Each structure stands twice: as structure tokens, then as C-alpha cells.
Amino acid sequence: MAAGRPARLDCERVLTNSERVITGPISPYVVETRGLTRAFGPLVAIDKLTLSIPRGGVVGLVGPNGSGKSTLIRMLLGLIRPTGGSAEVLGIPTTHPERYAGRVGALIESPAFLPTLSARDNLRSLGQLRGLEDARVAAVIDAVGLTGREHEPVARYSLGMKQRLGIAAALLPSPDLLILDEPTNGLDPAGIVEIRGLLRDLAAEGRTVIVSSHLLGEIEAACDMVVIIRFGEVLFSGSIGDLLARAVPHVEVTPEYPDDMDRLAATLVSSGWRIANQGDELHVAADEDATCDINRAATSIGVTLRKLVAAQEDLEDVFLRMTGTTDGELARGRAAQARPEAESDVFAAAGAASLGTDA
């Protein structure tokens, strides 16, 4: 070997494949993507997505149906190839998933288990395929809280137990990174709370858990960080606190008589306020200071108000405003039309907090 050759290459020459997996590059990020793109024919499911997910904790990947969550996860696992850009998992390019496969556990959609076999035997056969010892099976059954039920055939399992079993299977290789695609899908409220607790426990063991959901409310309580995507683009990436800081104040206004709604709306708009129609009430983009002026504007046209309440969006409102309420299963061409409509129905996001009569 020539003198001065990089030490890393010397090292790789003598390492076995499995050792190389364990001694892979140390990156502060479990996932890094740059301009990651995936098109299915004319439909762009993931669109130049650039994202960094740091190590540790529970990370929620949230977006409406069809926003690209599963497509992103499949690319991260090396199951499908990007059509553009690049991604790294645990510092290793997704062009070489074999190098990180042993350190990443995944649950994608409903995992298939043999219904007549017990949970334990299903896990044992999966473990044997991976060359793992049976002791891992008992450990993962315990980790997901199925101890005592592991001898029952999977056919008898409830949906929640099947999801736990799926997570147990993902935990078999004792992964640094766990990626769970919609593990709360179809669960009842108690099942959702259980899975959330499990996610927190797994993160407390030092793993990074990436969990997708189309409902922020289902996973928000478990998440240290959330990434919100829509039409394959990142809309937000940060803590729940940062997301909540985007909540927009508004004043909820209802006229005494519903027939006065249009007249009231026209007056408020002509006075310079931005409004959104929310069923039988109007939401005015303004904070509490504006309530007296809104009241005066209504009185000036002879409208008495039944309701005049200053309010703040909650997390779900912020999420819905960002992602819109249109069905995500839209072709990309229709997406462009849907976006402005979705934003205008609860004012525009930016700067609404400072809106008043001068908006």
C-alpha cells in the first residue's frame, strides 16, 4: 500500500462486511436529503425535498393522504429509487441500503404475518432469516408489551396488537433508527395512546423514531420534532413549540341574524379586515385589540352581534391551514390549483398576526 493513502481505506480493506456496517460514518443526522425527487410518470410525489433530521427522539412525519410520506419512507429504506436528488440514512447514501439495513428497523403499512402461527413463532422465523438469536424475540415482545399474549395465534390479535407486533418485528435487529409508517392508522383512541407511549419508550432507549401520520393530533404528544409535508414538499420542520408559535390570532364573529352575514362580511372587508367564512361565523384576522372596532363596524350598519370572541388557532388549526383541507390524492397539475384555495379559506398564513384595519 502506498504511503500517505487515507487511513479510512486501510481500515475498510481489513474489515468484514458486518464490521463495516457497525463502524459506518458518524453523522449528526439520521436522515439528510438534498433535492430528493420521485416522480411516477407525470405525478411528482416527492418534489426537490431537502431535509435534515437530527439523531434522537421521536420525529413526526405528517401530511395529508397522498402527500408523499410513504414514498419518502420507501426511498429512505432503499425500496424505490429517487428520480432526482440524493438522500443519506445514518450518513450512508440510500444507493447502498445494504450498508445501513442492519441498523434501521421499519414498519410499512400493515405487516404480513402468518395468522395461524403465534406472534412468537412469527417473530422467530423473521429473526432466523436475519440470523438473530431467539433471545431477541423475547426482548422485542417485552419491549412492545405483548408478553403473556405471545403464544396466541396472530389471527386472534386485535389491530392494536398487530401494530405492536409489527413494531416488534422492526425492533428485531435492535436498530438505531426506527421508521414506522402510520402505526396508529385504524387504532381506537386507547390504542393510539398506547402506541404513543411505546414510541416515547423506544426513544428513551436512545433510538431515533420517525413516525408518519396523516393526523398531527395522533402523534403530536409523542413528538420532539415534526416535519410537515404536502404535495411532496416540506412545509414545516421544527419543534411542536415552533409550530404553535405560528398560530394566528383571530376574532370569531356571528351576527344575531344569519341573513345579516353577507352584509357584515362586506362591511368588515371594506373596512380593511381580512376575513374567512367558517360555517355560521366569520373569522377576522385580528387580535383582541380589534374587537371594539369590529363591534362598531357592525353597529354602524345596524347589525347586532351574537358572538365576538378573540381566539387563537390551536395546533390542529395551524396544521390544517398549512396543509389545506383538499384531498391529497390529487394529480400534481390539480395541486397547483388547490393550493391558493386552501390557503385563502383561513386567511393567508404569513403576517396575519399583525393584520388589522390597515392590512
Ligand X SMILES: Nc1ncnc2c1ncn2[C@@H]1O[C@H](COP(=O)(O)OP(=O)(O)OP(=O)(O)O)[C@@H](O)[C@H]1O
Q: Of residues 32, 60, 62, 70, which one binds ligand X by CB under 6 A?
A: 70
Task: List % helix, strand, coil for the chain (3-state, nearest 5).
Answer: 40, 25, 35
Residue 45 binds to ligand X (criterion: CB under 6 A)? yes
Which residue, 156, 200, 160, 150, is CA-closest to 178?
A: 200
Q: Of residues 58, 69, 177, 211, which one binds ligand X by CB under 6 A?
A: 69
Spatial contact of 211 and 58, defined as CB atoms under 8 Å apart:
yes
- Nearer of residues 89 and 303 to ligand X, judged by Cβ: 89
d(CA 350, CA 355): 10
Cell numbers 412525519 correspond to what residue? Answer: 61
| Helical residues (DSSP H) of the chain, grouped into ranges | 7-14, 17-22, 69-76, 119-129, 134-143, 159-171, 189-204, 216-219, 240-244, 261-270, 291-300, 315-323, 332-344
Residue 37 binds to ligand X (criterion: CB under 6 A)? no
CB of 191 to ligand X, least distance (A): 18
Q: Of residues 18, 65, 300, 325, which one binds ligand X by CB under 6 A?
A: 65
Residue 257, binding choice from ligand X, Mg ion, none, Cβ under 5 to 8 Å by partner class: none
Binding mask 196-225 for ligand X (x = CB under 6 A): ------------------x-----------
Count helices and strands in the chain by DSSP H and E runs:
13, 14
Binding mask 228-267 for Mg ion (x = CB under 5 A): ----------------------------------------
CB of 326 to ligand X, least distance (A): 13
- Nearer of residues 61 and 203 to ligand X, judged by Cβ: 61
Q: Which neighbouring-strand residues pair with 33?
A: 51, 87
CB of 348 to ligand X, least distance (A): 24
d(CA 356, CA 85): 43
CB of 228 to Mg ion, least distance (A): 15
Which residue, 185, 162, 181, 161, is CA-closest to 108?
A: 181
Residue 40 binds to ligand X (criterion: CB under 6 A)? yes
Q: Of residues 37, 67, 70, 163, which one binds Mg ion by CB under 5 A?
A: 70
d(CA 117, CA 102): 25
Q: Of residues 67, 118, 163, 254, which one binds ligand X by CB under 6 A?
A: 67
Site for ligand X in 313-332 (CB under 6 A): 329
- Nearer of residues 15 and 331 to ligand X, judged by Cβ: 331
Name the amino acid, one letter, at 92: I
CB of 67 to Mg ion, least distance (A): 8
Site for Mg ion in 28-57 (CB under 5 A): none
d(CA 351, CA 343): 13
Q: Name the residues that contact Mg ion, by CB under 5 A.
A: 69-70
Q: Name the residues that contact ligand X, by CB under 6 A.
A: 40, 43, 45, 63, 65-71, 214, 329
